[in-house]
Amino acid sequence: MLKIVLPKGSLETATLALFDAADLTVVRSSSVEYKASIDDPRVEAVRILRPQEIASYVQEGLFDLGITGRDWIEETSSDVVSLGELRYSKATSQPVRVVVAVADSSPAQTGKDLKDGVRVTTEYPEMTRRYFAERGIKADIRLSYGASEAKIPDIADCVVDITETGRALRASGLRIIDTVLTSFTELIANKEAYADPVKRHAMEQLMTLLTGTLEARDKVLLKLNVAESSLDAVLALLPAAKSPTVSRLASGDVAVESVVPKRGINTLIPDLIDAGASDLLEIPISKIIH
């Protein structure tokens, strides 16, 4: 039913891991194969291509559904339907940013401080042209094929580049002076395919699986028993926003279930025991569907 295109390159490993965790395992003959499949009746075919191309291909109808970053949707000015953000990137769950960076020695403190004739190196020429045009700056924009930060200050005066943590830019002696775009990964659809009720329903079902899997990341289910007299002390330690489930047991004790962050579980469990909890289970969660 659906022809899907997934990103190759920096997002590839994280995307395939997400699909696998969502029970949509992508199968291919080798790690360099561009054709793949998913054993799911909603998926007809899968291709793995560079994210720079995906939004354009989805707009053209070569694929019904694709995953790419908001940065490449904006760079290519692609007219597609976004089913929503998938909050993961190459190394973290944080967004990536397209930023303007200059050498530490540059007097520029913001993008507006750059002067006419500024030499700019970037993998995002269209987005960069719009950025400088909006500020009335005549920039000499040069397409970069990588290692953009290494071209400052000898070949270019500033770089418009993508960063997740800013670490590589700082290591190259560069300083960020502005953010052009904050970009999450998105699930996008061809407009005509999305207008088809059957295809749209299938797309939304896949999105539910993917977002439910992301929601479950870094969380666990805690189940425990506690005496009625200690219940308030135990509940005070659990995240109130997660609305713990409380059930009365025939023994007179209380059973409590709560979804909690995995981070900090090493201190939470001993604290719960100290507060009167017993028979505690920590259970991994595959998906959380709201």
Say which CATH number the domain at 272 has: 3.30.70.120
What is the amino acid identity at position 9?
G
What is the amino acid identity at position 28?
R
**Is residue 176 domain-shared with residue 188, that is, in the same domain?**
no
By residue count, the chain amounts to: 290
Specify the pTM.
0.87
pLDDT of residue 91: 60
Contact 2, 199 (CB under 8 A): yes
Question: How many other CB atoms are there within 10 angstroms of residue 201's CB atom?
Answer: 11
**Is residue 76 domain-shared with residue 199, that is, in the same domain?**
yes
Contact 83, 187 (CB under 8 A): yes
Assigned domain for 290 exists: no
Terminal C-alpha separation, the chain: 26
DSSP H or E run through 244: none
pLDDT of residue 241: 62
Strands in 245-248's sheet, in edge-to-edge order, are 245-248, 254-261, 219-226, 277-284
**Residues contacting 83, CB < 8 A, separation 6+:** 186, 187, 188, 189, 203, 204, 207
pLDDT of residue 92: 61
**Is residue 141 domain-shared with residue 264, that is, in the same domain?**
no
Assigned domain for 143 exists: yes
Q: In the beta sheet, which residues pair with residue 188?
A: 66, 82
pLDDT of residue 168: 84
**Is residue 116 domain-shared with residue 176, that is, in the same domain?**
yes
Assigned domain for 137 exists: yes
| C-alpha 208 chain-centroid distance | 15
Contact 186, 54 (CB under 8 A): no
Name the nearest CA neighbour of 157 among 99, 106, 112.
106
State the residue range of the domain holding 223.
Answer: 219-284
Domain tally, the chain: 3
Assigned domain for 149 exists: yes
Going residue by residue through the chain, which has 290 residues, state the pLDDT in tens, using 9 for 90 and above: 999 999 998 889 999 999 999 999 999 998 889 999 999 999 999 999 999 999 999 999 999 999 999 999 999 999 999 999 998 866 666 788 999 999 999 999 999 999 999 999 999 999 999 999 999 999 999 999 888 888 998 899 999 999 988 888 998 899 999 999 999 999 999 999 999 999 999 999 999 999 999 999 999 999 999 999 999 999 999 987 678 999 999 888 999 999 999 999 999 999 999 999 999 999 999 999 98
Assigned domain for 154 exists: yes
pLDDT of residue 264: 93
Assigned domain for 289 exists: no
Q: Is 174 helix (H, G, I), strand (E, B) or coil?
A: strand
**Is residue 61 domain-shared with residue 101, that is, in the same domain?**
no
CA dihedral for 142, 147, 149, 153, sign (positive or negative): negative
pLDDT of residue 90: 62
Distance between CA atoms of 61 and 191, rounded to whole angstroms? Answer: 8
**Is residue 259 domain-shared with residue 242, that is, in the same domain?**
yes
